[in-house]
Amino acid sequence: MMTMATNDDNDDKHIDDGDDGSDDDQILEFNQMGLDSRLLRAIDGQGWHTPTLIQEKAIPLALEGNDILAKARTGTGKTAAFALPILNGLLAIKDRLSGGGGGGIAVDDDNDVNGRQIRALVLCPTKELSHQITEHFKQLTTYCSREITVMDIGSGRVEDLRAIMTAETPDIVVGTPSRVLKHIEAKHLPNLKDQLKYLVIDESDLMFSFGYEQDLTKVLNESLPKIGCQSFLTSATLSTDVKTLKKLCLHNPVVLKLEEPELPQSDRLIQYHIECDEEDKFVLITSLFKLGLIRGKTIIFVRSVDRCFKLKLFLEQFGIRSCLLNSELPVTSRCHVVQQFNSGVYDIIIASDEKCCADAAQRKKTTTRANKKPSRKTRKQDEEYGVSRGIDFKYVSNVINFDFPTTVESYTHRVGRVARGQDSETGTVLSLINTQEKPYFDLVRSTFNDSGGANFKPYQFKMEELEAFKYRTKDALRAVTTIAIREARLKEIKREMLASQTLKSYFDANPKDHKVLKHDRALHTVKQKMHLRDVPDYIVPPTLRSMVRSKPKSNRALEEEASLSYTPKRKRKPKHVRNKEMMKDNDPLKTFRLKSIKSKKKLKNRRK
């Protein structure tokens, strides 16, 4: 159920469930909300049949001009809940400016003939989420792209966007608080106090924990209007940071609380866990994939970038393809990886989740320490990176916690990657837990069991039947050394440098550097062992032989595999043939001298 309530402030609106005059049993459709026809066509193109609960309640209230504070878990459609009212309001302004709206309404946009002003600002904590929100707006403006333009300023250099911002001013700007502040200081976003009509702070509970407290406060106090701007705050939790932001930018808001469990229902989410040693984690994940026990698109969460590369190199030994997502990759590469995963190029994505493996207080301490005295050992990582919150991974069937998170919130956001939306299928979560991670798992299980949440089931797996996989795992882990991980990271950096648009002009001016970087080879490579890719019948556990059957390969597949793995033996040539080849390869002058010496020796022998 849904309850609309407020906090302790007396100025907030008190609206109980059902006070809006609608019947709870009847769902308010999109065409009954008073949205523009161009937006309704875009909604039909997205395949949205019925609005989600937060969309059904928030959109009508937002169209009335109310400030909204929406609390809902991940995957409930919060982006469309604020995007549709903003686009509907901007289209109304455009129609009035063009004379199509009529009605004699006074408009304060006479200084802009084309009506091109920055009227909406969306702030979010990560660059990936900034790119995703921009794409979401573009999908909803499919039939009104000429009237409304959207720009993502969360990534890229500030100087590079100067020409674009001056040539065509966008109607909607999306970015992180630090990036928006840089553009404001560069005077790329002028007159926001006079022009801004809509403000959105998405995932507001992460803003302060990601280190945006000073930047966000400066933007809100110095560059945005105090009145006359409709504001939206969306969050998964109503923490103290959200309440602080509420006082800064909301006026008489309506607080929407979705009274539903933080995790999907047990009929849509199955949660398993296996308690094992650290080495057994690699044994289990190999056997699960090679035996076909995990099917569908899968996200594997690890705690660090090194673990990310180690697991990828390890799975490659067994012929399991995967892609990487970590904070060291540029934002364009990260968005490209997510796009490839969503389009089906890869079925497995390994994501390093450093920030969500620690609580907010620990992240703040780490950020302040890094600002004071940077360490030589720490590699440069993107502070505006986050993977467990905000990014819309499509059609995810499984989430594997290879490294278990340390907080309940982190576990909730990871699990939120599956069973998203109303039309999604059942999702599965598997957590591999060692002895050090056992207290964190007990905390998560007690939290959700006490609140009547999801049921945690132990995954019935006999480790004694995986002895053959243990030998193979040890063989593969020996090949994945620290040097191999370092070389893999360097290879990824080189690849990104060659594909970088920022360095393109430099490489054009210095082609020799581009050639050296392109042909630079790794010092150490992981040798692929072809025998690890096949799973013979004799290593399949007896309890799973009825479920797991080795598929017979076709003749063509066998021929292709044999042609790829076959290396013919080199026959040893006769001695006189090798001597002739050696004579040909040598310097002709030297060979002529050798021949003359040999001929003289023969003559001497004959005379004797």
108-117, 154-163, 445-454: least confidently modelled range: 108-117
pLDDT at 492: 79
Alpha helices for 293-330 (secondary structure H): 305-317
Q: Is residue 273 a contact partner of residue 441, using CB atoms and an 8 Å limit?
A: yes
Question: What's the whole-number mean pLDDT along residues 311-321?
Answer: 89
| pLDDT, tens digit (0-9, with 9 covering 90-100), for 453-495 | 557 888 877 788 888 888 888 888 888 888 888 888 888 777 7
DSSP 423-470: S---EEEEEEE-TTTHHHHHHHHHHHHHTT-PPEEE----GGGGHHHH
Q: Is residue 321 a contact partner of residue 438, using CB atoms and an 8 Å limit?
A: no
Residue with tokens 């995954």: 459
In sequence order, which residues have a C-beta less than 8 Å from that of residue 213 and are 6 or more positions away?
207
Domain CATH for 466? 3.40.50.300
State the Cα–Cα distance between residues 479 and 525, nearest whole angstrom: 9
User: Do 329 and 467 belong together in one domain?
Assistant: yes
284-293, 339-348, 409-418, 491-500: least confidently modelled range: 491-500
Residue 561 covered by a domain:
no
Phi-psi region of 362 (alpha: psi -120 to 50; beta: other; left: phi over 0): alpha
- Looking at the structure of the chain, the number of domains it has is 2
User: Do 200 and 315 belong together in one domain?
Assistant: no
Mean pLDDT score of the chain: 77
User: Do 228 and 278 belong together in one domain?
Assistant: no
pLDDT at 470: 87
pLDDT at 74: 67
User: Do 237 and 287 belong together in one domain?
Assistant: no
pLDDT of 22 strictly over 50: no
Residue 279 covered by a domain:
yes
pLDDT at 44: 92
46-50, 54-58, 264-268, 557-561: least confidently modelled range: 557-561
Q: Which of the pair, 350 or 419, is modelled with greater confidence?
A: 350
Query: What's the whole-model pTM score?
Result: 0.68
Cβ count within 10 A of residue 454:
21
Pick the last residue of a domain from 232, 258, 284. 258
Quick one: angle between helices 511-518 and 482-499, nearest 10?
140
pLDDT at 140: 94
Q: Is residue 255 a contact partner of residue 9, using CB atoms and an 8 Å limit?
A: no
3-state secondary structure at position 353: coil
Number of H helices, E strands in the chain: 22, 15
Residue 209 covered by a domain:
yes
Pick the last residue of a domain from 219, 237, 258. 258
State the Cα–Cα distance between residues 517 and 608, nearest whole angstrom: 64
User: Do 48 and 166 belong together in one domain?
Assistant: yes
For residue 199, the enclosing domain spans 2-97+115-258
Degrees, nearest 5: CA angle 564-494-486: 80
| pLDDT, tens digit (0-9, with 9 covering 90-100), for 565-603 | 545 556 667 777 676 666 555 555 555 556 667 777 788
Q: Is residue 198 a contact partner of residue 120, using CB atoms and an 8 Å limit?
A: yes
List the beta bridge partners of residue 5. 255
| pLDDT, tens digit (0-9, with 9 covering 90-100), for 213-237 | 888 889 888 888 888 899 999 887 7
Q: Would you place residue 378 in the very low, low, confident or very high pLDDT band (cuts 50, 70, 90)? A: very low
3-state secondary structure at position 75: coil
